[in-house]
Amino acid sequence: MTDGLRPVTDDAGLVIQGGVGGIRFQWEELDDAARELSVLAAEVEGVALAVAFLDRDLVELPWRIMRSGPPDGIFGPHYQSALAQVHAAETAALEISRTLESTEARLRASIRAYQLADDIVRSATEAVRTASVLVVRKAAREAIEHGSLRTGPIDLRRRDQGTQVPFEGTVEGILDRLTAVENDAPGTFEVLRSGSAESPFFVVVLPGTQSGLIDGRAGSNPFDVGGIAEALAEDSHFMEAAVREALETAGAGAADPVMIAGHSQGGLHAVNLADPEGLGGRFEVQLVVTAGSPTGWQATGPAEYLHLEHRDDLVPGLDATPNEDDRHRTTVRIDNPVPGLGRRPDGTRESWGLGPAHKLENYTQGARLIDASDAPSLAPSVALLAAAGAPGTARRYSFTAVRRRPRVVPSKGRHTPEEPHCRSRLGP
């Protein structure tokens, strides 16, 4: 639920915005209630009209009887009592109808007042979003066109093909899989297949930005900084093709249910891939989970969206605009204490990177709080996760994504890389 126009904070300190407990969903419910009040008022008014006709007939009844014969006491106390009851019923029905109409009017006035305030806020945030999108898209495109950042087609190398791995149907379970992928070799992502042979469920797990190279070749890892540019300027066009191939390798068919999860850059790709013009148009993308991703620039499709953002993580705020408050889009801001840097298996301390708050270990602690929460906005995502992880295990199909070497073509006496150009759906 929402406290006025503000997100709600639950008992665990989670700040929850959007979803079925969000203000816009509540407005939809209130608008439905106002329509029902209007219909009910009309129905009660119809009852009052019917009672008025009955009242008229009762008033005329004695005179009709007098024309046909002696009244024989028709004007007695029973008749007078019945007539009074009919009068009272008519008056009560009219009063109820007027009360319902008045309640509907007050409810609609309240909705209009909240919507006016929200429209002002949305106009301001939309202006910021549009401006930041234009700047980011331009910068990403220029970096690609000038060769500072590389994007391009992606080839897949198959690794695990059907290995059984633990998979819990929880938010923490998703973060565990993200951690497993990020601890694997550079360029690795995975598709999990759970459920039964007749009713499979597929989970795509995408890592965050990586500096590691594949085969020692610069620009070979599609999850490098160039991958961010692809997500922002090219709608994850090449990543979409790679993930589609991976899903098909894992046995996913058209309209099969799919969940996509990503950390940081992987979250940008996840939202792009779920779009109806992307994988969402081929598979039934039911849920998108992101952790530490700046997704405020991106619109959403018909799936459920669950965004995890930590108070001390600067990366989710790079979009300079909040995620939309939508009945199918829930953003959870967590503020659990940030763990310190750990040590690698060789004993060396972890690198600072984008800060300890951006690391998956931190988000995993926050995920436990989300799993323990009973906030209404979290219920749809939690239910989908529980269904996907019901068996407790899944078959893992992992892949090394390798960006192809650019084709070199002569141009004005020098060699320049030739890459396909893709247009972004972000912003205008």
The token pair that represents 80 in the structure block? 């007078």
Q: What Rg value do the Cα atoms of the chain yield, rounded?
A: 31
Pair 178, 280 in one domain = yes
pLDDT in tens, 346-382: 666 667 678 899 999 999 999 999 999 988 889 999 9
Q: Return the pLDDT at 416.
A: 47
**139 within domain boundaries:** no
Q: Is residue 17 part of a domain?
A: no
CATH code: domain of residue 327:
3.40.50
Only one residue has tokens 């205008």, namely 428
How many domains does the structure of the chain reveal? 2
- E strand map for 318-427: 329-334, 393-403, 407-411, 414-418
- Does residue 133 lie in a domain region? no
Show the tokens assigned to 323: 């995620």
Task: State residue 3's pLDDT score.
Answer: 44
Q: Which helix (H) or strand (E) holds 157?
A: strand 154-166
Same domain, 266 and 308: yes
Residue 422 lies in a domain: no
Let me know whether 115 and 253 are in one domain: no
Residues 6+ apart with CB under 8 A from 178: 205, 207, 261, 262, 263, 266, 291, 360
- Which pLDDT belongs to residue 306? 97
Domain residues for 92? Answer: 22-128
Asked if residue 259 lies in contact with residue 293, where contact means CB atoms within 8 angstroms, the answer is no
In a domain, 421, yes or no: no
pLDDT for 333 equals: 94
The answer on 165 and 95 residing in a single domain is no
Residues 314 and 399 in one domain: yes
Q: Are residues 251 and 386 in the same domain?
A: yes
Q: If we measure between CA atoms, which residue out of 179, 184, 191 comes closest to residue 248?
A: 191
Query: What does DSSP assign to residue 403?
Result: E
| pLDDT for 293 | 96
- The separation between CA 356 and the C-alpha centre of its own chain, rounded to angstroms, equals 26
The three-state secondary structure class of 263 is strand
**How far apart, in whole angstroms, are the C-alpha atoms of residue 283 and residue 156?**
20
Is 427 inside a domain boundary? no
97 and 158 belong to one structural domain: no
The predicted structure's pLDDT at residue 417: 52
The confidence score (pLDDT) of residue 5 equals: 44
In this prediction, residue 250 carries a pLDDT of: 96
What does pLDDT average to in each consecutive run of 10 residues of the chain (428 residues)? 49 76 54 63 67 64 56 63 76 75 70 63 61 76 90 96 94 96 96 91 97 94 96 95 97 93 97 94 96 89 94 89 86 89 67 85 93 90 92 95 81 49 56
pLDDT number for residue 1: 41
Give yes or no: residues 108 and 166 share one domain: no
Put the strands of the sheet holding 304-310 in their side by side order: 8-9, 15-18, 329-334, 304-310, 284-291, 257-263, 200-206, 188-195, 393-403, 154-166
163 and 287 both lie in a single domain: yes
Please tell me whether residues 171 and 105 are part of one structural domain.
Answer: no
Tell whether 281 and 232 lie within a shared domain.
yes
| 180 within domain boundaries | yes
* Residue 177 belongs to some domain of the structure: yes
Residues 231 and 368 in one domain: yes
- Say which residues have a Cβ less than 8 Å from residue 235's Cβ, sequence separation at least 6: 272, 275, 277, 278, 422, 423, 424, 425, 426
Which tens digit of pLDDT belongs to each residue from 169-221? 999 999 999 999 999 999 999 999 998 888 899 999 999 999 999 999 999 99
